[in-house]
Amino acid sequence: MTMLETALVFQSPKLGDVSYTTEDVVRFPQGIPGFEQLRDFLLVTREECDPFIFLAALERPEVALPLMPLTPATLGGRASRAALAPLGDAGDDAVVYYAVASIGLNASEIIVNLRAPIVINLDTRLGCQVILPDETLPIAAPLPA
Amino acid sequence: MLVLTRRIGERLRIGADIELVVLDVRGRDVRLGVNAPSSVAIHREEIYLKIQDNNRAAALGQPGLTDALARAARELRLRKPEPQAKDGTQCARPSVH
């Protein structure tokens, strides 16, 4: 390595101190619904919550969305090429999908939003939340089996 | 809010790239057509608001969310004992993707 990466620290009230570099930042050019003004995020893991990870907003540390990685089996549908155009060109495995996780009506159970996945292009470090056109996909689905 | 009245077949031009046309009116239902670049997302407002609410609830910490997540995480790990690490090039640090 010829260049030192500057280590930065993000202080998250929920996740503690997180070390990162500028290369770790994922940029959402259009924010996400509910947080349309936010742009820069980190994907943060916590061992006890694995496989869930957190999308943490650098500009608003109290904002951290739990995400569940989606696989071809659990993903309700793929976003169209047009919908993903803002994320730039992507290699075969560079586009990853996550469902936002939250608590359902039953306060102890997690539900996941399969209708509007968070999509990230790991090559360009750009992300967005895509509302899939399939109206049968649930916003509040129980965890896939 | 800008309020305009249009008849069937008449259009609105929004910015340089977006066109709205009134296609049909039947009773209380108005059928609208939109021409816009494919990168512009267009949704019924109800679905957008539901997703906004869902994101806000998830992001701002419903009581018990972290506990419920940790519990669900344990159950998922018990069900599927797969390697947890993804492709190493995606992880810059142990704690950050």
Average pLDDT over residues A25-39: 95
Q: What is the pLDDT of residue A59?
A: 96
Residue positions counted in chain B: 97
CB A129 within 8 A of CB A32: yes
Tokens of A70: 């989606």
Q: d(Cα A23, Cα A68) in Å, to the nearest integer?
A: 22
Helix-, strand-, coil-residue percentages of chain A, each rounded to 5 = 10, 35, 55
Q: Which of B50, B55, B82 to mutate to test the interface with A (most CBs of A within 10 A)?
A: B55
Would you call B58 and A101 a contact, using CB atoms and an 8 Å cutoff? yes
Instruction: Give A38-73 pLDDT, tens digit per residue.
Output: 999 999 998 888 999 999 999 999 999 999 999 988
Instruction: Give B5-44 pLDDT, tens digit per residue.
Output: 999 999 999 999 999 999 999 999 999 999 998 778 888 9
- Please report the ipTM that was assigned to this predicted complex: 0.91
Would you call A43 and B47 a contact, using CB atoms and an 8 Å cutoff? no
Higher pLDDT, B49 or B41: B49
Q: Name the pTM for this structure.
A: 0.83
